[in-house]
Amino acid sequence: MRFLLRSLAGLFLLALTIALLAVAGATLRSAFEARNADKGNSRPAEERVFTARVITLEPSRIAPEMTVFGEVRSRRKLELRAAAAGQIVELAPDFADGAVVAAGQLLVRIDPADAQSARDLARTGLREAEAEVRDAARALELAQADLDAAKAQAALRAKALERQTGLAGRGIGTAADLETAELAMSNARQAIVSRRQALAEAEGRVDRAATSLDRQHLALAEAERRLAETELRAGFSGVLSGVTVVAGGLVAKTEKLGELIDPTTLEVAFRVSTAQYARLIDEAGRLRPLPVRAALDVFGADLAAGGRLARVDAAVGEGASGRLVFATLGDAPGFRPGDFVTIRIAEPPLDGVALVPAVAVGSDGTVLALGPDDRLEAVPVELLRRQGDDVILAVDALQGREIVVERTALLGAGIRVRPVRGGAATGVAGEALIDLTPERRAALIAFVENSAAMAEEAKARVLAKLREDRVPAEIVERLESRMGG
């Protein structure tokens, strides 16, 4: 039995060896036949010709558009802080985030009881000071009258002394009478001195009363100011933001209660590189008042507002570069401080340039120009600006020549092409439109209709574009990125 199994295995290996030798022989035979075959009937390889869309470069005048990103701010903002401490006893009905208030409107009233008491005490003190002024004036009048009477009496005493002196000189009067007259005159002079002292005291009392009256006026003004500080009023018409108080709450002095923002005085702050800033200033280094346009993306519909460059920050912040530029905005409905917007700045126009797609320029700074026999030539160009998917080139020696619009890896210098002509490069590329399947269109429309974040006006604009035969690709891309598609 073992002998039979070994015999069968040997026969199998022999058959397998013979089969492999036969296959090898057939392969060698085929190789020799292919080498010795007649080659007279083979055709030479033809040159491959590619199709390329070309445009003719013609010099034109183009105003470059710089695109940057910035933040919307309000040039008029007021922090609402409590000027007095206490309990809030009155709160405006519309004192809430987003509420619109008018200039001078009462927003918050803090318990004024202590301030009113201080004001009433100051008024009482003022009345007392006024009464003291009147009393001092009357006392001054009486002191003056008393001095006048003392002077009159002294004059009479002087005449009596003179008469007694004359009589004594003629030997008629007695020494006692003369002494009595002299003593009376001395008393009269002493009385004048006393009345003058009383008059001086009365004048001093008038001055002190006037000073006290001024002090009470200041105290009353201070009390009235303290009372006014218990009321918080809107300094200008605007919108409330960051409200943090409720009726009945206790507030400390200088505690922040919210902010008042004027939505009509908006500006946008954005940072540009030093090279970009150099294109925004004139020969004297002053910022040109160039027009700007700010756009806010709202689910495919843009809120836009126009404005002009206004000023540039005086210093470069620590760790920052470039320049911080501010532009004032005109009528900007829908914009709010804190919005992140796209800003397009119209630069001074350039002459002798052409706008072409960015894919037409290679990484080596050359374009493929159409030469004799429709063969491509690599020609260096001067790239002046980049604008999204387009670039602005200096035409120079390429004026009137045709260049390839969409450069691919298959195209290069010396390649022969079949040109497809589509006009001259003179303007901005049109908006890309795409076709949508019914299912895709229905999904986009349903997403927009169910969106709670979009305004009704923006919804209407987006839905109108989605119902057209061909839809802008940019809108579709924005919507699907928010849908997660």
User: Looking at the domain assignment, is residue 333 inside a domain?
Assistant: yes
Residue 153 sits in the same domain as residue 196: yes
What's the pLDDT score for residue 453?
65
- pLDDT level of residue 72 (50, 70, 90 thresholds): very high
User: Looking at the domain assignment, is residue 43 inside a domain?
Assistant: no
User: Looking at the domain assignment, is residue 14 inside a domain?
Assistant: no
Q: How far apart are alpha carbons 412 and 437 in whole angstroms?
A: 37
Residue 137 sits in the same domain as residue 219: yes
- Contacts of residue 347, defined as CB under 8 A and 6 or more positions apart, other chains included, come to 63, 64, 65, 66, 279, 280, 290, 385
Q: How far apart are alpha carbons 168 and 165 in whole angstroms?
A: 5
Residue 221 sits in the same domain as residue 358: no
Q: Per-residue pLDDT averaged across 468-474, rounded?
A: 78
Greater confidence, 94 or 290? 290
Residue 123 sits in the same domain as residue 180: yes
Residue 157 sits in the same domain as residue 195: yes
Average pLDDT of the chain?
82
Greater confidence, 425 or 212? 212
What's the pLDDT score for residue 484?
61
**What is the CATH classification number for the domain harbouring 407?**
2.40.420
Question: For residue range 88-129, what is the model confidence (pLDDT) as tens digits?
Answer: 888 888 888 888 888 888 989 999 988 899 999 999 999 999
- Contact in structure between 354 and 60 (CB atoms under 8 Å): yes
What's the pLDDT score for residue 324?
92
Residue 118 sits in the same domain as residue 222: yes
Q: Model pTM?
A: 0.58
Q: Decide if pLDDT at 186 tops 70.
A: yes
Q: Per-residue pLDDT averaged across 77-97, rounded?
A: 87
To the nearest 10°, the Cα dihedral for 29, 32, 36, 38? Answer: 50
Residue 223 sits in the same domain as residue 139: yes
Greater confidence, 29 or 89? 89
Q: Decide if pLDDT at 426 tops 60.
A: no
Question: In Å, how far from its chain's centre is CA 289?
Answer: 17
Q: Decide if pLDDT at 326 tops 90.
A: yes
User: Looking at the domain assignment, is residue 15 inside a domain?
Assistant: no
Q: How far apart are alpha carbons 151 and 310 in whole angstroms?
A: 80
Range in 162-171, 325-334, 354-363, 409-418 the model is least confident about:
162-171
Domain count, the chain: 5
Residue 255 sits in the same domain as residue 266: no
What's the pLDDT score for residue 309?
92
Residue 235 sits in the same domain as residue 95: yes
- Contact in structure between 360 and 406 (CB atoms under 8 Å): yes
Q: Decide if pLDDT at 462 tops 70.
A: yes
To the nearest 10°, the Cα dihedral for 165, 167, 172, 174? Answer: -30
Q: Per-residue pLDDT averaged across 152-176, rounded?
A: 76
What's the pLDDT score for residue 46?
63
User: Looking at the domain assignment, is residue 23 inside a domain?
Assistant: no
Q: Decide if pLDDT at 268 tops 90.
A: yes
Q: Decide if pLDDT at 3 tops 80.
A: no
User: Looking at the domain assignment, is residue 302 inside a domain?
Assistant: yes
- Contact in structure between 429 and 410 (CB atoms under 8 Å): no
Residue 90 sits in the same domain as residue 129: no
What's the pLDDT score for residue 328?
92
Q: Per-residue pLDDT averaged across 347-361, rounded?
A: 86
Residue 457 sits in the same domain as residue 327: no
User: Looking at the domain assignment, is residue 3 inside a domain?
Assistant: no
| Percent residues over pLDDT 90 in the chain | 11
Domain that holds residue 104: 77-111+230-260
**What is the CATH classification number for the domain harbouring 86?**
2.40.50.100
User: Looking at the domain assignment, is residue 299 inside a domain?
Assistant: yes
Q: Per-residue pLDDT averaged across 169-190, rounded?
A: 76
**What is the CATH classification number for the domain harbouring 166?**
1.10.287.620
Residue 234 sits in the same domain as residue 222: no
Q: Per-residue pLDDT averaged across 411-416, rounded?
A: 84
What's the pLDDT score for residue 222?
92
What's the pLDDT score for residue 427?
40
